[in-house]
């Protein structure tokens, strides 16, 4: 048996502002932006150099979905971004004025800081030990 996690849907307010944030501020690759209808698009992004799981940017289509934008996990860290160079990527967050929720700390598993994306979803930026 072979399985893998392919996409994680993240509810966004607007496709273009989300693409701009992920590609121009976090430097993710835009893998696909396909119109499915006049109001729905299939938009996939993922970190540069990664061949793993992708984010599917899904525009909130109704009041319930829009109410979850920025808080899909009840205020817990939602996504975990591993890096091979913490200082480079942390400085990029600062340079783009991305909100730092928790300053860098050195944990048993590596160096970590928490940041918020454009909607307030919390992310861990982690350079695992031994990298």
pLDDT tens per residue, range 66-91: 999 999 999 999 999 999 999 999 99
Give the Cα separation of 60 and 13 in Å (integer).
Answer: 6
CA-based nearest residue to 55, from 45, 47, 41, 65: 45
Q: What pLDDT is stored for residue 131 in this prediction?
A: 60
The share of the chain scoring above pLDDT 70, in percent, equals 99
105: β partners: 112
Q: What pLDDT is stored for residue 130 in this prediction?
A: 80
Give the Cα separation of 17 and 82 in Å (integer).
Answer: 23
Q: Map 18-52 to HEC letters.
A: HHHHHHHHCCEEEEEEEECCCCCEEEEEEECCCCC
Superfamily (CATH H level) for 1-69: 2,3-Dihydroxybiphenyl 1,2-Dioxygenase, domain 1 (3.10.180.10)
Q: Which residue ranges does the chain devote to CATH 3.10.180.10?
A: 1-69, 71-131
pLDDT tens per residue, range 100-123: 999 999 999 999 999 999 999 999
What number of other Cβ atoms are within 10 A of residue 36's Cβ? 9
The share of the chain scoring above pLDDT 90, in percent, equals 97
Superfamily (CATH H level) for 71-131: 2,3-Dihydroxybiphenyl 1,2-Dioxygenase, domain 1 (3.10.180.10)
What number of other Cβ atoms are within 10 A of residue 103's Cβ? 9
């Amino acid at each position: 048996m072979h399985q893998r996690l392919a996409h994680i849907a993240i509810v966004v307010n607007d496709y273009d502002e989300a693409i701009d944030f992920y590609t121009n501020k976090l430097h993710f690759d835009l893998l696909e932006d396909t119109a499915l209808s006049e109001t729905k698009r299939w938009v996939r992004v993922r970190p540069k150099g990664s061949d793993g799981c992708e984010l599917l940017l899904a525009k909130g289509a109704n009041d319930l979905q829009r109410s979850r934008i920025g808080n899909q996990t009840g205020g817990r860290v939602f996504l975990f971004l591993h890096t091979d160079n913490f200082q480079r990527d942390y400085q990029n967050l600062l340079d783009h004025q991305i909100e730092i929720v928790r300053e860098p700390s050195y944990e048993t598993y590596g160096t970590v800081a928490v940041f918020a994306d454009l909607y307030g979803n919390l992310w861990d930026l982690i350079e695992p030990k031994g990298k």
